[in-house]
A and B are shown apart, each in its own frame.
Chain A
């Protein structure tokens, strides 16, 4: 085997004990094992080497080798990645996993933006809305809530259409803004809700599951080009082999997080599938508008794959 001694930097924004840290650790162990301890992956959690987009730019420049983040954050580099943010695209994990691991997901890995190599999809989780004022059980409950959402036109229009007031605010200000009630709430996966201690400042969490965020594992093209075929094989097989366990761990963490935040006094409201369908119906004009903007040829393959999964259930 053509494998040299190397150290690769793996940077991510969540803590080491998060689902991201679990995946990174598993990946590092597998790389060490497959390369006979020659290739070392060093982990830099908590964004100590930079935020998401800064890290992507560092990967492109070759100063950091590996990262993982939700693919929708790549929308500035290639607008087609905005498809991952379409509300209510996936109904459950099974659909998401099948589509991402199938030909459609593979196509998005292969056309990763310039300077980046995509290896696999891990799990970040469904996004859920929390707020400090009232439980959200049905579509009407969004009315009048001041919510901080991701700063993209798609997310802002979606929440405004649901009746909320989407307020622009950087993530770094979010905790303080909720603590001081400058905004009522936010939307993020439950594990992120827990690790950022949002339960200290939020009373209600509702399982709106309006957007599914996978994680895409990315390697710097510059670093990749310097690797032998064997070394590339070590990295890509480790990322793919990590996938199943990372997803299982991440989804277990979500369940534990729900129990934990409940014990801390957060009311967790289940949103029924019927209500979720009503919410989807309300934002349909927004979905249609952005589907046109993204291009039917980008979105349609997703729907076709999802239909296949639904048919086989």
Chain B
């Protein structure tokens, strides 16, 4: 009953066009009335305490670093590096998109930002050499989704805070699954373009490659600093985020000189707004999450799933199908916030490794960004490539299937996640 009231009030307020954050607050009001404990202080306490968190400070920091990298010329140089390496193969620009997707993923925390940068830079070039526009846009959308799986990742941070899981461990465990997503895309792309007749850019000379690498060096150092810093214990995730900000600021302003100090106000303002929208949503989700906890809904669901508790694979499969279903209609942040308090008790009770679950959960949410009807990455790529939403959907499906296959493989063979995670953690 509690869950019905929660979902009904949430969906009803969302469907009339209310911002999701306010819809979550209102479903909290509905739950308070249902539980006979109406008190406006519950709203205020959860909204405010939800935003009063040190680990979540990594969210604005990684967003700021991403904003600086896009407007300071770091992202552009990363794409150039990928271009100089794999651009000359048959369908080479596709591999450029995938490789650049993986490299950008290691710099930024957000799929939307990666997809926007890739889409604006690569889709027009791919169309020019004769690739199908829908396929090109679809590939770029799918490549953007690697962003939240390879660290740093705002998805991992939000999940880590909501579920009480080590963010550093999640980061380390995401590397190999993220590369697997890239490999699956590359195989799919090879299959898709094997009969296409397109021009390929000429193989770059050694000197040209060296130039691209040298120019991209400072940008490429950032993931090295973050990963080595986290791995060797120079800093915690929140500190890694702030180091990324200061480093990218240094590279953009002093080395590349593409970001003028006068532009900084706009860059900071844009980031502050994005961060506020995400954080306000996080805080609002806590209102209903608190009431769902008080009503002990997670315990109820866990007892419903009791018979499945010793069949971990089946349980994982069921949970992943649920996330795919929710992911078709909802974007990453709300999905994480709404499902984590419901699923984590089950994960713990069944003895599933929370880090393994977190990697698959976030990967699944990332794939949800390219599943219709609601997929923010699809929207962004449609926007920057100037094609219709429907056309991107048509172009994306082979890549979507490839990513779902990777997800299914990881459900069947957990060691694909857990074994490499151990290499990186010790």
Contact = CB atoms under 8 A, between A and B. Distances in A.
Interface of A: 9, 42, 44, 46, 48-51, 54, 57-58, 61-63, 170, 172-173, 175-177, 179-182
Contacts of B168: 176, 179-180
Contacts of A62: 39, 41
Contacts of B236: 173, 176-177, 180, 182
Given A54-B49, A61-B45, A173 B234 contact: no
Interface in B28-75: 37, 39, 41-42, 45, 49, 53-55
A239 to B, nearest CB: 22
Nearest to B286: A50
A250 to B, nearest CB: 23
20 contacts: A42-B296, A46-B164, A50-B290, A54-B45, A54-B49, A61-B41, A63-B37, A63-B39, A170-B55, A172-B55, A173-B55, A173-B238, A176-B166, A176-B167, A177-B236, A179-B233, A180-B230, A180-B234, A181-B233, A182-B235
Nearest to B168: A176
A173 B166 CA distance: 9
A175 B45 contact: no
Contacts of A9: 294
Contacts of A180: 168, 230-236
B239 interface: yes
B293 interface: yes
B45 A57 contact: yes
B235 A49 contact: no
A46 B293 CA distance: 12
B349 to A, nearest CB: 13
Contacts of B231: 180
The 7 closest A-B pairs by CB, nearest first: A180-B233, A181-B233, A61-B41, A170-B54, A176-B236, A48-B293, A54-B49
A67 to B, nearest CB: 14
* Residue with the highest number of chain A CB atoms closer than 10 Å, among B42, B161, B233, B237: B233
Contact of B41 (A49, A63, A173, A182): A63
A180 B237 CA distance: 10
Nearest to B48: A54
Nearest to A60: B41
Nearest to B46: A50
B42 A63 contact: yes
Given A54-B49, A182-B239, A172 B39 contact: no
A42 B230 CA distance: 40
Contacts of B235: 180, 182
B63 to A, nearest CB: 19
A179 B293 contact: no
A170 B54 CA distance: 7
B216 to A, nearest CB: 28
B180 to A, nearest CB: 26
A141 to B, nearest CB: 22
Nearest to A48: B293
A175 B167 CA distance: 10
Interface string B229-258: 011111111110000000000000000000
Nearest to B289: A48
A44 B41 contact: no
Given A50-B45, A58-B45, A173-B236, A179 B294 contact: no
A51 B55 CA distance: 14
Contact of A44 (B164, B232, B238, B293): B293
B339 to A, nearest CB: 16
Contact of A49 (B37, B161, B294): B294
B254 to A, nearest CB: 27
Contacts of A177: 236
A50 B233 contact: no
A61 B164 CA distance: 27
B283 to A, nearest CB: 13
Contacts of B230: 180
Contact of B49 (A50, A176, A181): A50
Contacts of A172: 53-55, 161
Given A44-B294, A61-B45, 6 more contacts: A50-B45, A54-B45, A170-B55, A176-B168, A176-B237, A180-B168
A214 B167 CA distance: 32
Contacts of A175: 166
Contacts of B167: 176
A181 B236 CA distance: 9
Nearest to A50: B49
Nearest to B44: A61
A40 to B, nearest CB: 12
A42 B299 CA distance: 13
A173 B53 CA distance: 11
A211 B73 CA distance: 54
Contacts of A49: 290, 293-294
A34 B41 CA distance: 31
A237 B37 CA distance: 27
A57 B46 CA distance: 12
A63 B55 contact: no
A169 to B, nearest CB: 8
A173 B240 CA distance: 12
Contacts of B238: 173
Interface in B117-135: none
A47 to B, nearest CB: 9
A63 B45 contact: yes
B234 A179 contact: no
A53 to B, nearest CB: 9
* Residue with the highest number of chain B CB atoms closer than 10 Å, among A44, A48, A176: A176
Interface in B148-180: 161, 164, 166-168
Contacts of B237: 176
Contact of B54 (A48, A54, A173, A181): A173
Nearest to A53: B49
A59 to B, nearest CB: 11
A42 B295 CA distance: 10
Interface string B92-126: 00000000000000000000000000000000000
Nearest to B54: A170
A166 B403 CA distance: 47
